[in-house]
Amino acid sequence: MDILEDLKWRGAINQQTDEQGLREYLQQHKDLTLYCGTDPTGDSLHIGHLIPFMILKRFQMAGYHPIILIGGATGAIGDPSGRKTERVLQSEEQVRHNEKCLTSQMEKLFGTENFEIVNNASWLSKLTLLDFLRDYGKLFQVNTMLNKDIVASRLATGISYTEFTYQIMQAIDFYYLNKNKNVTLQIGGGDQWGNITGGIDLIHRIEGADHPAFGLTIPLMLKSDGTKFGKSAGGAIWLDPEKTSPYEFYQFWINQDDRDVIKYLKYFTFLSHQEIEDLAISVEKEPWKRLAQRKLAEEVTKFVHGEAGLRDAQFITNALFEGNIMELSVKQIEQGFKNAPYVEISKESKNLVDLLVETGIEKSKRQAREDINNGAIYVNGSRQNDCDFLVDVPNSFEGKFVIIRRGKKKYTLLKTK
């Protein structure tokens, strides 16, 4: 099975400009170079951004040469794709900061061998206005540009000339990489189809209709309930561990619906067809074991955060599930309880009954005593049956936290002021 057939099996192909031509080119050119671009509009990618780069990674693993383009120039302009209004232009300082952060993330995902990162500012910034108009603007028909889905969707609300010319800039990128890096394939999301075909048209106008240049887009990723993939109740799931901790990242994947998990295993992991088909049988016959979800969480967390990040996420997960809170470090508690309810308390020891009522965990002292006597209250993972128990706040997790559990799963984090 060639890589295109594998991508089809994984549901990872939406559109291709010339499927047969690309297949034949791949068979004849084992050194094919391809690229995918991202604009530095933020200082981290989220898992929605990760989708096309998973395809790029598969090509890398198959022996082809991937290039990632970070749009230092196009990012300063703003892609109109998927937007109803103009983007707020970023400062040059912010763009440079974002470029640095994204470069670091990509190097972590792709390594250093058979891989390259380029920045389109290195060539687009050298174009004069006269060069842009004479060498490239003359090759684009306004009526064709207006018919592009991205532009057509904005005509009712308005689009600036700046964002209107974005498609020309991206087309120049493909032409430049084709000429200088021998790039013959561009990959992108479905909303990039117009930009990709614009680049291919430019290459053909300059180099000739038979010059090899191909485009491939990926499908829009939707959950089984029809909502867009990539968000949680707390917002986007980021690749930056400071924005989304490895534990939160792991939990996002392990909590996926049975109806979605096999689709995500095909797309976001490098497991073999047989391994995924075996997990599909498990979902069908023994869903309560959640083997597929666990494997999905393990594979994607390891890919993004490495073995250390996976171990940390699993350690926190197991400690919380088993109630072994005292095994956690302060940093691990911050990860595991980032989105948990919390109450601020003073940094002094307190009677357990008083503490439960003051923090709202219990409605009354009578109820607090009843739950303590019944063994329903845990302090830092240890069950407390003594209503006179004194909670040693100053020595609890470096004086920063006390963790109260009521019943089997209801945790409350107490933070010292």
| Statement: residue 82 has pLDDT above 80 | no
What local confidence, expressed as pLDDT, does residue 232 receive? 59
pLDDT digits (tens, 9 = 90+) for 209-218: 999 999 999 9
Is 224 part of a structural domain of the chain?
no
What local confidence, expressed as pLDDT, does residue 222 receive? 79
What local confidence, expressed as pLDDT, does residue 233 receive? 58
Lowest mean pLDDT among 38-47, 118-127, 336-345, 365-374: 336-345
Nearest to 379 by CA among 347, 355, 400: 355
Contacts of residue 363, Cβ cutoff 8 Å, sequence gap at least 6: 357
Question: Which among 284, 303, 336 is the end of a domain?
Answer: 336
Report the 10 Å Cβ neighbour count for 143: 6
**Residue 249 — pLDDT band, cuts 50, 70, 90?**
very high
Q: Please state, in angstroms and rounded to a whole number, the distance separating the CA atoms of residues 114 and 65.
A: 6
What local confidence, expressed as pLDDT, does residue 268 receive? 95
Is 223 part of a structural domain of the chain?
no
Is 211 part of a structural domain of the chain?
yes
Q: Please state, in angstroms and rounded to a whole number, the distance separating the CA atoms of residues 291 and 393.
A: 39
Q: Please state, in angstroms and rounded to a whole number, the distance separating the CA atoms of residues 341 and 363.
A: 16
- Convert 229-261 to b/e letters by CB count within 10 Å (16 or more is b): bbeeeeebbbbbbebbbbbbbbbbbbebeeebb
**Residue 231 — pLDDT band, cuts 50, 70, 90?**
low
Is 225 part of a structural domain of the chain?
no
* Same domain, yes or no: 141 and 252: no
* Same domain, yes or no: 196 and 238: no
Tell me the CA distances in angstroms from 34 to 99, 128, 374, 396, one per residue in order. Answer: 20, 27, 64, 54
What local confidence, expressed as pLDDT, does residue 409 receive? 75
Higher pLDDT, 48 or 292: 292
What local confidence, expressed as pLDDT, does residue 81 receive? 67
Question: Which among 336, 359, 387 is the end of a domain?
Answer: 336
* Same domain, yes or no: 75 and 152: yes
Higher pLDDT, 265 or 148: 265
The arithmetic mean of pLDDT across residues 99-116, rounded, is: 91
What local confidence, expressed as pLDDT, does residue 307 receive? 95
Lowest mean pLDDT among 48-52, 87-91, 108-112, 320-324: 87-91
Return the H-helix or E-strand segment holding 163: helix 161-164
Token duo for residue 324:
């072994």
Token duo for residue 78:
């703003």
* Same domain, yes or no: 10 and 52: yes
What local confidence, expressed as pLDDT, does residue 213 receive? 97
Is 226 part of a structural domain of the chain?
no
Question: Which among 218, 244, 274 is the end of a domain?
Answer: 218
* Same domain, yes or no: 305 and 354: no
Task: Say whether 231 counts as a known binding-site residue.
Answer: yes
What local confidence, expressed as pLDDT, does residue 158 receive? 80
Strands of the sheet with 15-16, listed across from one edge? 15-16, 214-218, 183-189, 33-38, 65-70, 116-119
Is 309 part of a structural domain of the chain?
yes
* Same domain, yes or no: 117 and 183: yes
Token duo for residue 9:
């099996």
Contacts of residue 195, Cβ cutoff 8 Å, sequence gap at least 6: 79, 81, 148, 150, 166, 167, 170, 171, 188
pLDDT digits (tens, 9 = 90+) for 323-341: 788 889 999 998 888 877 7
* Same domain, yes or no: 129 and 181: yes
Residues found in the chain: 417
* Same domain, yes or no: 235 and 366: no
| Statement: residue 354 has pLDDT above 80 | yes
| Statement: residue 364 has pLDDT above 90 | yes
Range of the domain at 38: 3-218
Nearest to 280 by CA among 268, 271, 292: 292
Token look-up 């939990």 returns 251
Contacts of residue 126, Cβ cutoff 8 Å, sequence gap at least 6: none
What local confidence, expressed as pLDDT, does residue 282 receive? 96
Q: Please state, in angstroms and rounded to a whole number, the distance separating the CA atoms of residues 196 and 172.
A: 10
* Same domain, yes or no: 260 and 239: yes
Is 110 part of a structural domain of the chain?
yes
The arithmetic mean of pLDDT across residues 175-194, rounded, is: 94
What local confidence, expressed as pLDDT, does residue 147 receive? 80
What CATH number corresponds to the domain at position 241? 1.10.240.10
Under 8 Å between Cβ of 404 and 377: yes
The arithmetic mean of pLDDT across residues 367-386, rounded, is: 92
Domain count across the chain: 3
In the predicted model, what is the mean pLDDT of the chain?
90
* Same domain, yes or no: 328 and 242: yes
Under 8 Å between Cβ of 121 and 92: no
* Same domain, yes or no: 94 and 175: yes
Report the 10 Å Cβ neighbour count for 370: 14
Calculate the CA 283 to chain-centre distance: 25
AA letter at 230: G
What local confidence, expressed as pLDDT, does residue 125 receive? 92
* Same domain, yes or no: 295 and 385: no
Is 239 part of a structural domain of the chain?
yes
Task: Say whether 223 counts as a known binding-site residue.
Answer: no
pLDDT digits (tens, 9 = 90+) for 160-181: 888 888 889 999 999 999 999 9
pLDDT digits (tens, 9 = 90+) for 13-41: 999 999 999 999 999 998 899 999 998 98
Under 8 Å between Cβ of 221 and 46: no
What CATH number corresponds to the domain at position 99? 3.40.50.620
Higher pLDDT, 159 or 385: 385
| Statement: residue 120 has pLDDT above 80 | yes
Token duo for residue 290:
């959640």
Token duo for residue 340:
């948990």
pLDDT digits (tens, 9 = 90+) for 276-328: 999 999 999 999 999 999 999 999 999 999 999 999 999 999 988 887 888 89
pLDDT digits (tens, 9 = 90+) for 378-414: 999 899 999 999 999 999 999 999 999 998 778 899 9
What CATH number corresponds to the domain at position 370? 3.10.290.10
Q: Please state, in angstroms and rounded to a whole number, the distance separating the CA atoms of residues 22 and 15.
A: 12
